[in-house]
Copies of this chain bind each other. A is one copy, B any other.
Amino acid sequence: MANIKDIARLAGVSVATVSRVLNDHPYVSEAKRAAVQEVVQRLNYSRNVNAVHLITGKTNMVGVVIPYLNLPYFNSIMEGIAQEALEANVHLLVSQTNYAADKETELLNMLKIKQIDGLLICSRSLKWEVIEAYSQFGPIIACEYIESDRISSVHIDHYGSFRLAMQLLLEKGHTRIGYCLGRGHSFNSRNRRRAFSDALSSAGVPVREEWMFYQIYSIEDGAEVVRSILDMEERPTALLVAGDQVAAGIISEAVKNGLRVPEDLAIVSFDNHPIAQLFDITTIDNRLVEIGRTAFSLLLKRLQDPASPVEHRELPFRLIERATV
């Protein structure tokens, strides 16, 4: 492969001049510029970016820590990130972590050694204190709520959205309410749980542990929840479901078993995925794609101006009333 020296020799100029031409620097005579460009064309030359990375300390790549690419929640966020990255001409080093801490550490380390210019974290296992320590090496943006003066974040108010959903159900007279979440111990989940129990207690209703389901991710998981409910002596009359996909699984299985929705089982779901429309599910739009877009643009801003401040943006959620409440 030809290198910059070859080009310089063939064009009859110095490597510095070639570099200037390559980087669109001023102070190069038209004649030499043309000569260089001709040789570049003729040899079909491309710069070795690894050398460029080494010397500039930048890579035009940002890392993305994402637990599961195929879960609708994360897929939507990723979609937003990818859209903006395409636009900004920045490359994405995507690491599907399955929540493995060592995978997260790996990307953090890449930031430290400048293999990536910045890092987007959709969700993580590592503690924020650990992650914060890496912010000295480059901007880090979180797609969840975090109080930090070193890591920017974009999030929606999961507490608020869960309270809204609860209010909807309580107003309809429901008191036997359960919920389905993914990870039970995440920050978001804890918030949701808190909203859930706050709403219940302000209505003077006790929390029923047996109606709280965790590790519910898929359509099949949703069906499973319905089967558990059917076996109960006392069943919940309403369910908050984190994820439309799961809600669809629940509704489908419920109907199959003679339960009417919403009469026997009301559902409020989250995310406003296309499938929610299909099943006419009342859902709260969490603006997931927008979260991804915003996260990326926050990152870009800090990349372009490292002095720009750490920001925390809360995106408004939005209730979509349909037929399951």
Contacts and interface: CB of A to CB of B under 8 A. Distances in A.
B96 A93 contact: no
Contact of A95 (B91, B114, B115): B91
A76 interface: yes
Interface centre among A51, A85, A113, A278 (most CB of B within 10 A): A278
A115 B49 contact: yes
A78 B82 contact: no
Nearest to A133: B44
A46 interface: yes
A109 interface: yes
A33 interface: no
A274 interface: yes
Interface string A71-102: 00001101100110110000111111110100
Interface in A195-234: 218-220
Nearest to A59: B50
Interface centre among A83, A85, A91 (most CB of B within 10 A): A91
Contact of A92 (B53, B79, B93, B249): B93
A277 interface: yes
A98 B48 CA distance: 26
Query: Chain A contact residues (Cβ within 8 angstroms of B): what range?
Result: 35 or more
A221 to B, nearest CB: 10
A121 interface: no
A54 B245 CA distance: 45
A245 B277 CA distance: 12
A252 interface: yes
B220 A46 contact: no
Contacts of A1: 112-113
Interface in A13-67: 46-51, 53-54, 57, 59, 61
B278 A248 contact: yes
B86 A103 contact: yes
A50 B69 CA distance: 27
A94 to B, nearest CB: 5
A292 to B, nearest CB: 10
Interface of A: 1, 46-51, 53-54, 57, 59, 61, 69-70, 75-76, 78-79, 82-83, 85-86, 91-98, 100, 103, 109-110, 112-115, 218-220, 245, 248-249, 252, 274-275, 277-278
Given A69-B79, A86-B100, A86-B103, 9 more contacts: A47-B113, A49-B113, A50-B113, A51-B54, A53-B53, A69-B75, A75-B75, A92-B93, A249-B278
8 contacts: A50-B53, A61-B93, A69-B78, A70-B79, A86-B97, A218-B274, A219-B274, A220-B277
